[in-house]
Structures are given as structure tokens and as C-alpha cells.
Structure 1
Amino acid sequence: MRASLRRRTSSPAPGVVSGPGRVDRRTKSLTKRLRPGDVAVIDHLDLDRVSAEALVACQPVAVLNAARSTSGRYPNLGPDILVSAGVPLIDDLGPDVMTIGEGHEVRVDGACVYVGETLVAEGVAQTPESVAATMEEARAGLSVQLESFAANTMDYLRRERDLLLDGVGVPDVSTQIDGRQVLIVVRGYHYKEDLVTLRPYIREYRPVLIGVDGGADAILEAGWKPDMIVGDMDSVSDRALTCGAEIVVHAYRDGRAPGLARVEQLDVPHVVFPATGTSEDVAMLLADDKGAELIVAVGTHATLVEFLDKGRSGMASTFLTRLRVGGKLVDAKGVSRLYRQRISNVQLTLLVLAGLLALGVALASTAAGQTLIELIGARFDDFTSWVGKLFGG
């Protein structure tokens, strides 16, 4: 701990929470080891929706953010998701909170964070009211972000004109895509629910399954095997990389590929695709260039707020990519909310039992039905007698 840490001088107020601290500057890395009852310690400016939903799913007792969960650039969705789920969110704690040792017992008292009797940091405890006020202020910054987004889009068009218009630079792959439908899975909003809803489609059409980074693990978790994995390989598991799928490493335009060393270390066959923009764009452009009949996208980004929520200027590439493949693209994100099963399993069971009862009453009211019931009863008596003799003998 730093020398600036202060000693606690007062007793904790009611409602204090505590648990072992789990510390990581990368939220998506932290959620892989975060467990119910832990205290999540992050450094995440403008906490996005996907990260917040992943944190809520891990059921931490509190989330401590060294940065501001909302900077005011735009109305990001993460803070509201955490607060609405009842997870205490302490903001703007500063760099001292990142010095908490992994697994050390952390106590959160209001906006104050303690390890043992030592006050580590003090921030701002977010409430529904404070989040709503911050969101209202952040909406005023959308016009500036829109101008920046448009500028980034034009810059991407100038740099990647040949790729967008003529497919120059798309690598050769061994996966047979020409004439087939392709399902691209990104670990984005509602991807799990959408994959469940798309099961009949996958079973009937058997599309080429492409996982974008962690989307490959989502495909495996759903019970299938990806045919191809596209991405910079920073959030995909070794299990996915070694499952037999074809690996396409997304590299920067200058050829640098941070994830290439990991793929080479695992000794799996791969190709490199240098391109500006996001990995989901690369996957769509690849599928389109190789002759996909239809491209179905799950979990991808489609709205301006989602692009900004992702926190990359490169998200502007998605706008032009969607224009490029628009005639083939079907965005299945949110399809689970479009169609939900309205009959529960209990209701369905009761309906079946009621049908069987009605059938029995109908049979009992006719001579042929009564004869059939007597025959079934006789057969049942023979069966029970045989079972009795079997165990009695």
C-alpha cells in the first residue's frame, strides 16, 4: 500500500459490505475470475453496457472504479445497469484503489474503501438519482461525439477504400463459405438469448459459424463448434483456439498483430488479415468476399450509442462495413426480445395432462373405448404380476 493511506478513525455505518478484492484494469479479464461475494476493483472510464452486464452476472458485493464510470462524453449505459441491479458502484476512487492486493479483504463503507483498518480511497457512491442526472448532462455531449464519429468514418473510407470496394487484402481461407449462409457471433448485447432463439435456424440451415474473439467461446458454450475464429485473440480462450476452427488473426494495417504470438505459441494453423476497424467488421467483409449467401449477425453493434459505448474511434468502420454488406446482412441482435415463448413448461405440462384426461373420458363414454380400457387394464395387471413374480422369485 502507498504511504498516503490513512487510518480509519470512525466505526462503519450500517449497510457496509465486504469481500475479497479482485483487481484488474481490464474489466473483461476480471470477469473471468470474479465470483459471487467478491469486490470488483476496476479502472474503467465510461463503463459500457457489455462490461456492466458481465459484472452483474458475476454477482459481486460492490464495484470499485478508479476512474469515472461516466465522463460526460455520451450517455453510456453501464452505471445504470449496475445500480439498477442493486450492485453498489463507487466511482472516481483514484489510482490508490488499484494498489489493493489480489484477494485481500476489502470493506466498503458508503463511499470509503478500507483494507483492514486502513482507508485506501474515498470516491463517489452512485445512486439512481446521481446516474440519471449524469446521463442527462452527458446527452449534451452527443453532438460533439457525432461530429467526431463522422470524421472517423471519412478517415476510414480514405484508408480502406480498396478493401471496402474491391476486397483488396482479404486473405485466402480454407473454410468453404461460397453459397452458404454465415452466422457471425460477437459477445455483445443479448448474445446468449439470441443464440438460444436461433437454435432452429442453426439446426435447419447449418450455417458457417464464425466467432469474433470471445464469440467463439459463446458458440462452444451453446453446444456447437465454430468453423472460424476472427479477432485479435485478446478475449478468446485456449480451448476455443484449439478446437479445430480456422484462425484468422486481425492485425493492424502496418502488420502488427498483438495476438499473433499467442496463436503461434499454441501452434495452431492461422492466417493474418491486416485491416483497420474492428474484428466484427473484418469477419463480415471476409464472409462477403468469400461468397456468403446470407450473413446473420448476433451481438454486433448497430447504433450510435453502442459504437460510442465500445469506446473506439475505429467503430466508425462498422457504419461503412454495414453499407458494404447490407444486401446480405440480417442483424439478429435482439431477436430473443422479438419472440419469447409465452407458455411456461408448467403450463404446457398441465395442458398435456388435461388433454390426456379428456381423451380418457371420451374413450370411457363409448363401448369400443371401454373395451380398449379393459384390455389396457388387463395388460397392466399381467405386467405387474410378472414384475411381482420376478422379484418374488
Structure 2
Amino acid sequence: MKLATLRRRAETLPGVSGVARLDRATTRLAGRLNPGDVAIIDHVDLDRATAETLLAARPAAIVNAQPCISGRYPNLGPELVVAHGVPLLDNVGGEVFAAVKEGAKVRVDGDTVYVGETPIASGTVQDADTVETLMAEAKAGLASQLEAFAVNTGEFMTGERRLLLEGEGIPALTTRMRGKHVLVVMRSHEYASDLKALKSYIREYRPVLVGVDGGADALIEAGHTPDLIVGDMDAVSDTALATGAEVVVHAYPDGRAPGLLRVQDLGVPAVTFPTAGTSEDVALLLADEGEAELIVAVGSHADLTEFLDRGRAGMASSFLVRLKIGAKLVDAATVTRLYRNRISAAALLLLVIGALVAVAAALAVSDAGRTYLTTLSDDVGRFFDWLQDSFS
């Protein structure tokens, strides 16, 4: 009786409740987040790609130990979270990781996180109005971010000029790309809709399919099998790694590759690619070095705002990698528009009319065809006579 009373009492408490899932590595957390859980993260300047990954699991609420918008630049994640109606509480402090155990039942009410009826952390509630205000203030930080971006770009060019200019350090692959289209998939902005729109393109051109970390799972969800998996291996499933795809583990410039041990434990052969760039850059450089005819990017970063949104010095490498690859690299949305419009409705109509004319001409010049047309004409005449008699 006492337990039932406590349950009824818990159900009447305000706010939203759920099982707590905690991890300072947000991409790792997303892999075990279930619908209705409360995600507790440690992510300053929540970017759009991470927000999309979290929202895909349909959490009851998101609690951030750090500020979701620090003011350095207008990052896009918080805006997406509040637009989906998911409660967002940030700046609660790192102590929440010690106060809450994985799997515990927690409740978020206003600016406070509770375990039972005991408050254990408090922060700032973010909604559409507060996010809009913070985003407006953050735009003032773009100038300094651009300066930092320029400095990071120069440092990357100095440190890895041989990689960019001579291809030094790029591992040899068994996956053949020469003269082929290569589709590089990142599990980021609008990746699912892009893959759906590209289904006919993939069926006709049969591009080499490259999944960047969770992009491999995105390919599988869309009904495809990746040919190559690239990344840190922190956001790709064991199922994807077991598909038989060739695996390239992104390593630090000094050669350390934390994700390699996991791949080896699964018995999957892999090679490493040391670079200060991002896993996305690794995939693009591999396709370019493999002499791909065209590289189509799904879920990539297309403009300056999206580059800065990731909030990492390594994004400077993405800028230089794109300069190196040049016109060979196109965005999935561009391919979708061009491929969809390649055959117009008018052209299809003319094709059908031409086929009908050809059939009619073939029937008219043959004895069997003339007999068939005469019989068809008689049948049509009798049908119209029947109609006339029925309504007279």
C-alpha cells in the first residue's frame, strides 16, 4: 500500500520525469538513449548535428551541465531542441554527474532537477524567447570567431601541408573508387531526407557508399550497405561494423587511435589515418586520393555558419580540404535537384506519344494489323450505337 501511494504521488509531481542517461561524450550517449529518457550532457555550445542526434531518440528532456549558447557564436542546436518542444535546461554544473546515477529516475521541473523530491541541480530554462535573445547576442562574437578560424586554418596548413599537397599519410584502400561516384554520408543535418531523395540516383549510378561514423548506420537504415566506414568509431554500431565494409579509424596526429581497440575486439580488420582534421575530412580525402569522379556529400557542412556551429578548431581543416577537392565535391541537395529534373514531364509525354504512333504505324502497314484495326473500329462503332439506343 505504501509503494502504491508513493507511485501515485510521483505521478502527480509537476515537470517531466524519465530515466537518467549521462555521458560527457554526447555522441556516445545518443547511442543508448531511449524514448522518454532524460539526457544529461556536458556540451558547451550545442551544435545542430548533436541536437538532431539527441532528438532522434525522443528524450523527455535535455539537461546540460554547460551553457547551450556561450555567446562565442550563434550555434544552431538549442533553437532546434526548443522548436521540437523538448524541455531544455542548461548551465546546471558538472556536479550533476556525481549527484545522478545512470538509470536513476529523475524529474525536471522548471529550472531544477530532482531525484524523488530532492533537488540535486538547478540551472537556466531555455525556451524560444531566451534562445532568440542569446542567439542575437552571440552574433556579436562572430568577428572574433572568424579571426580564430583564420588562425586555425593557417596552423592546419602549416602542420599538414604534406597531407594536403602530396597525400602523405593517406592509407591505401582495397575499395576501388577510380572513375566512380562516391557518396559520403554524415549523420547530420537532413541526412535522412537526402538519402531518401537520392534513392533513384544510388540505384542508377551505384556509387561507392562511405559512412562517416553514424553515417554507416544511416546508410543501413535507408536500405543500403556501406562499402567503407570512416571515423573515430564512437558513434557507429557493432551491426554496421559487421557488414563487411572496409574500416578506416581516424587517429590523432601522434598516431593514437582510441577507436581502434573497439574495432579489433570485434575482429574487424582496420587501418588508421592520423590527421588533425575531422572524420568527415578523412572520408573526403580518401575519396579524392582514390580518384573518384564525383564526391557527393550527405549531411555535410555547406556554409560558414555550419562550419562554426561545430565549434571546433578542426573545422578549419574542412575549409582547406574542400579547397583541395574543388568542383569534384557537391552537396546531396544539388544532386537531388539536378537528377530529379533531368527528364521533364513534357519529354516523357512526347516519348509516350511517339511510342503510340509507332505502334499505330506498325499495325497499319501489316495485314494482321489492318484486320485488328478494322475489328477495333467495328467494336467502337457498336459501342457508340449501344450508348445512343440506351439514352434515346
- Give the TM interval when normalised to the shorter protein: 0.7 to 0.9
- 2:251 matched to 1:251? yes
User: What TM-score does the superposition give when structure 1 sets the normalisation length?
Assistant: 0.81
- 2:180 is the alignment partner of 1:180: yes
Identical positions, percent = 58
Task: Give me the whole-angstrom Cα distance separating, in 2, the residues matched to 1:249 and 1:290.
Answer: 17
**1:90, 1:124 within 8 Å by CA — same for their partners in 2?**
yes
Is 1:18 aligned to residue 17 of structure 2?
yes
Deviations 1:109-162 (A, max 9, x none): 211111112110111111211111111111100100000001111111111112
Tell me which residue corresponds to 2:316: 316
* 1:111-126 correspondence runs (5 A): 111-126=111-126
Q: Which has the higher helix share?
A: 2
**For the residues of structure 2 that align with 1:297 and 1:284, how far apart are their CA atoms?**
9
Cα distance in 2, alignment partners of residues 324 and 166 from structure 1: 11
Aligned equivalent of 1:45: 44
Q: Which residue of 2 aligns with 1:30?
A: 29
Cross-structure match for 1:161: 161
In the alignment, structure 1 residue 268 sits paired with structure 2 residue 253: no
* 1:200-279 paired onto structure 2 within 5 Å: 200-279=200-279
Question: What is the alpha-carbon distance in structure 2 between the residues aligned to residue 339 and residue 40 of structure 1?
Answer: 40
Q: Residue 94 of structure 1 aligns to which amino acid in structure 2?
A: G
Q: Which amino acid aligns with 1:113?
A: V
Q: Which moved more, 1:247-256 or 1:73-82?
A: 247-256
> Secondary structure of the equivalent of 1:40?
strand
- Displacement of 1:175: 0.9
Gaps of 5+ in 1: 1-10, 342-362, 372-393
Q: Amino acid of the residue matched to residue 249 of structure 1?
A: V
| 1:83 maps to amino acid | V
**SS in structure 1 of the partner of residue 59 of structure 2:** coil
Letter in 1 for 2:233: M
Q: Deviations over 1:271-295 (max 9, x none)?
A: 2222220111111111111111111
Supply the distance in 2 between the matched residues of 1:178 and 1:340 (Cα, whole angstroms). 25
Q: What amino acid sits opposite 2:90 in the alignment?
A: D
SS in structure 1 at match of 2:258: coil
Residues 57-66 or 205-214, more deviating = 57-66
Separation in structure 2 between the aligned mates of residue 45 and residue 337 of structure 1, nearest angstrom: 36
2:345 maps to which residue?
none
Amino acid in the other structure paired with 1:133: T
Secondary structure of residue in 1 paired with 2:261: helix
Structure 2 match to 1:89: 88
Give secondary structure in 1 for the equivalent of 2:297. Answer: strand
Specify the alignment match of 1:348 in structure 2. none
Q: 2:346 maps to what in 1?
A: none
Take 2:299 and 2:50, find their aligned partners in 1: how far apart are those partners? 13
Report SS of the residue matched to 1:141.
helix
Equivalent residue number for residue 189 of structure 1: 189
Give per-residue Cα distances to partners, 1:79-105, cap 9 Å, x unaligned: 111112111111111123222122222
Task: Name the CA distance, whole Å, in 2 between partners of 1:14 and 1:117.
Answer: 9
Letter in 2 for 1:63: I
Question: What is residue 370 of structure 2 aligned with on the other side?
Answer: none
TM-superposition CA deviations, 1:30-83 (whole Å, max 9, x none): 222222222221121111111222222322222111111111111111111111
Give the aligned residue type for 1:183: L
3-state secondary structure, aligned to 1:263: helix
1:320-356: CA deviations, max 9, x gaps? Answer: 1101111211111587799999xxxxxxxxxxxxxxx
CA contact (8 A) 1:299 1:333 kept: no
CA distance in 1, matches of 2:134, 2:11: 28
Tell me the C-alpha RMSD between the 2 structures.
2.7
Equivalent residue, structure 2, for 1:354 = none
Partner Cα distance (1:146, 1:216) in 2? 32
The corresponding residue for 2:66 is 67
Task: Calculate the TM-score normalised by the size of structure 2.
Answer: 0.81
CA pair 369-183 structure 1, distance change in 2 beyond 3 A: farther
Question: In the superposition, relative to structure 1, how do residues 339 and 39 fare at CA in structure 2: closer, same or farther (>3 Å)?
Answer: farther
Moved more, 77-86 or 136-145: 77-86
Deviates more, 1:159-168 or 1:29-38: 29-38
> What is the CA distance between 1:12 and its match in structure 2?
12
| Conservation of the 8 A alpha-carbon contact between 1:191 and 1:333 | no
Check conservation: 2:21, 2:37, Cα contact below 8 A. yes
CA distance in 2, matches of 1:268, 1:58: 28
> Residue 276 of structure 1: SS of its match in structure 2?
coil
Stretch deviating more after TM superposition (86-95 or 13-22): 13-22
**Corresponding pairs, count:** 341
